[in-house]
Structure 1
Amino acid sequence: MKNTILLPLSVLISFGAYSQVGVNTSTPKATLDVKAKNIDGSSSEGIIVPQLTGDALFSAIAGNKYGMDQDGAVVYVTEAASADNQTGQTAKVDDYGFYYFHGQHDEWTKLGSAATIYRTDGILTGPRHMNMDGNNLGFTGGRMGVGTSTPDPSAILDLTSTTDGFLPPRMTKVQMNAIFHPAHGLVIYCTDCFGNKGCIMVNDSTNPLVPEWGSLCSSNTPNGDVLALDCSSATTSGTLFAGSMVSGVNTTIPYSGGNGGAYNAGSFISTGVTGLSATIAGGILNSGNGNLIFNISGTPSAAGTANFAITIGGKSCTFSVPVNPFLGSITALNCGSASFTPPTITQGETYSGTMSIPYTGGNGEAYGQQQFSFNGLTFTLPAGALVNGNGNLVYTVTGTATTAGTMSLPISFAGQSCNVSKTISPSGSGGGITMCMGNSTKVWASHNLGADTSLDPNPSVVTQGLHGNYYQWGRIDSVADTYTPAGNISGWNTTPASNGAWNSGTESVPVKTAIDPCPSGFRVPTRTEWTALINNSTSNTIGTFSTSPTNFGAARQFNCPSNGNKLTLPASGSRHDITGALANRGNEGDYWSSTERSGAGAYLLDFFPGVINPAGSATRTPGFSVRCIAE
């Protein structure tokens, strides 16, 4: 059979001596040499090989269309073979592109690859490098993983490794500060920050025009560093007066560009007006802008200007504080007439009140704040002005007195001095006395509930102020006190309180309730605790036991042999359970326990001249004394 080749007449075909074929050339250089007709892009050029789908090639397998005779045949696959047809000769036809038939392997083999990282998974066969050449590369949608093919759903970028770390961009501090409009949250590693220690830095500023680089150091604490101290914007609270000890005066200095590092405490001595110091406690700078607060102390030598040259965070400046002349004057202080409000200060109890000291001959001039501490208490005279004539210096008093007894407070003002005498009461209801309780000791309140805690709790002669209040069992409010008249009390409550009113726990593990009348840290004792106190103490009587509404001197005093402490219980008597009338004052002591008794009763400690009963009982409506025990 004769084959015929049909070509357009415009195509020049040349057959060489050895049957070489040339297209658009008269001198073919190969079996088939095809030259472009036009090389200026004016016409379509190229060779189009047969175009088939992968499934079409798979269908040819059944007719044995490709074998050794077709070894090297080339086609262009327009569509990969379907997954089920990627077998036999078309096992590798998994993408579009050029394929040739490999007769010896009996399969179609891809010429090159159309696969990219955007179409298929793969493995790099060697190092690769991309020169961005100043161009941006962005990825949108999805997540990126390095070291993992399954980035965490919460991360846009997941770097996973157990052997390698992450290196942010590294640069010097100068280069960091030269970054153009750094974004809020931008992170770099500063190689020479903090004395060349280096640190990860983050821009905390939301304003790209004003970056604020903060440190994220963990292995080394950065030294404090600021861009600038602004002493010209210093503000001072309080006033300084010549010759008057400074109290409550502070100066605030703004700074900018803090690095979040630590700065040391410092003390800076004044020049100009001498005698003053500006001190600052050590701390941590803000990342960005902040303030430094200096406490001014001392006694200024004269009126004028006190100057303080300070250095913090590697920067220095000088701020000034004016010192006013002390023009206030008085004729005299009257410390003997000083008064306290409230009047009682008790050892170990928090106090907050005032001390007022009269003066004469005030001239109406201003004075600065003064402050001093004594026996755990702080006395502060706020800045103010004298009245013309007679007036009072009113100090605020706060703190907790550490020692009982009489203290002598030295007062000095405007060249006048005197001493205020004030007695600190022994620890009262909020304090206590350690008493013997068998195998251990226990703290008891030193006074009856409601007694005057400024009085000595263990005197040789008991007075009315030590007797305190009367309480019905299970109720928080007192029903009478030592000054209540002896007769009936109108409206007396005859309804007994419920079980558990003063103890929501057990006899061995008592739990204070909300209606227990004892102060914080104390509660009403149990019957067992009264028994332990009596059985492990010696006792004696004080005064004369006899019934009289005015006999306040009788008491029973218990002594702890191991430490010599004493607990004095006045014989306060009681208030009648039906009428509220006073009974047996001076001849009997009745002290509630928190332990209830069946039949709407309760247990108590009661004593007479020759009898001590730690487990007495009564109905719940009479008024008895309460002595609290520590929780």
Structure 2
Amino acid sequence: MIKNISFIFFFLINTAVFSQTQQNIIKNSGTESKPISEIDSIRFDVNLNKMEIVLNNGNIDDHNLPDINYINFSGELVGEIASLNCNEANINGTLYAGVPANDITLEIPYTGGNGGAFASQAVNSMGVTGLTAILDTGNFAEGDGTLNFTISGLPNNYGYANFEFFTGGQNCTLSVFINANTNDTVFCNGLPTEIIDVINPVTGKIWMDRNLGATQVATSSTDELSYGDLYQWGRGKDGHQCRNSNNTATISSIDQPGHSDFIVNNTTSPYDWRSPLNNNLWQGVNGINNPCPGGYRLPTVNEINSEIQSWSSADEVGAFTSILKLPASGGRSASNGSIDNVGSFGYYWSSSIIDYLSRGLRFYTYGADAPSFARAFGFSVRCIKDM
């Protein structure tokens, strides 16, 4: 008769499950080992002459007790920590958009280590993508210590690269700033647009607090320092968006024209700066030519309409008094490149398209709407955070 004393085994397992991975039966004939994860229970006969190890698959290993010298459990201590502190992390080196990470290391402190082992991991960045934080296999200290990561890859934009770390039973999120690469991108005032978030409590959407190219948040609807740049729909930060850029009538056949001129088109329908047109530009946070910082994108027309509905009034006053403080920054003509309606109209692109046109926000003294426009127009861009 076999007497089941599984509870004795599970008591042993529960006191050691985080530190022991192997059961070892030492006999005169040698050692027999079995991973604990494969064992369901252990039972003995009433006379304690025989031991049976019941496996999870239903099989049974028989052992005569007189043949057994002793049994022990072995394995590597699985690491645990009390806290992982991304807010105290230290990054060594500087990261730039479009430049491969080189000798960049990241130190994240932790507390309450148990001396156990942790596995290697590779954590990919979000927001600004293209980076990976790599941690090699090691052991936590007994007490407080630091995890050392190596960052590799090529950041696809400037802004914040977000990493979510999980180890030792703890987790934390770290945001690492990626600097703009002024060799590849034209900033009309010499500096990238500062990234400060505002949230609309009605829509729940998070936006940048100023237009791309603006040096400050609008203090009035006619604050020139808040106007920012004027982008043709779908183009990147190649310099054409600067208000003083030159005009050219040469239509581009590719997504990146390779120059900083504003492309006028007053002869060829559908009055785009590109032929053939490309509806895939500016689509989402990783969209082609997305001019927004990493983790941000152009809003959709539905998101723009939701903002209009949250204003105190659907007009120029409502635009400025909203949480976004949108100025009436005017627009640039698709036909001759002139800058018009500054201080009286606001034009802001969305990522949404309709046939060969693109949708955008328009507001003025008597109204606000989101009609369709030819893509060769130059309008403001206000970036929304991708969530």
TM-score normalized by structure 1?
0.29
Structure possessing the higher radius of gyration over alpha carbons: 1
Task: State the structure with bigger RCO (CA 8 A, min sep 6), 1 or 2.
Answer: 2
